[in-house]
Amino acid sequence: MKLDIRMPMGVMFVILGLILVLYGAMTGSDAEMYKRSLGMNINLLCGLVLFFVGALMVVLARRAMRAGPK
């Protein structure tokens, strides 16, 4: 049995990334909230990074499943 951990981890990162992106988009106009982070919307930026890393993991896992066992 071959266990590929990329698929569940990728899905988890995609979901967490989407949550952070949505939260960052909804609170983007609150300047006081992002004062500590030099005015950068950290929630939005980290959410985008998590989303793209998760999407990459899912794509690589699907590609490995299509290639079949070696």
53 falls within a domain: yes
Structure pTM? 0.83
**Which tokens hold the place of 9?**
């981890």
46 falls within a domain: yes
Quote the number of domains for the chain: 1
1 falls within a domain: no
30 falls within a domain: yes
Q: How far apart are CA 42 and CA 23, in angstroms?
A: 10
pLDDT of 49-58, one tens digit each? 999 999 999 9
pLDDT of 57-67, one tens digit each? 999 999 988 87
Q: How far apart are CA 36 and CA 18, in angstroms?
A: 23
Range of the domain at 45: 6-67
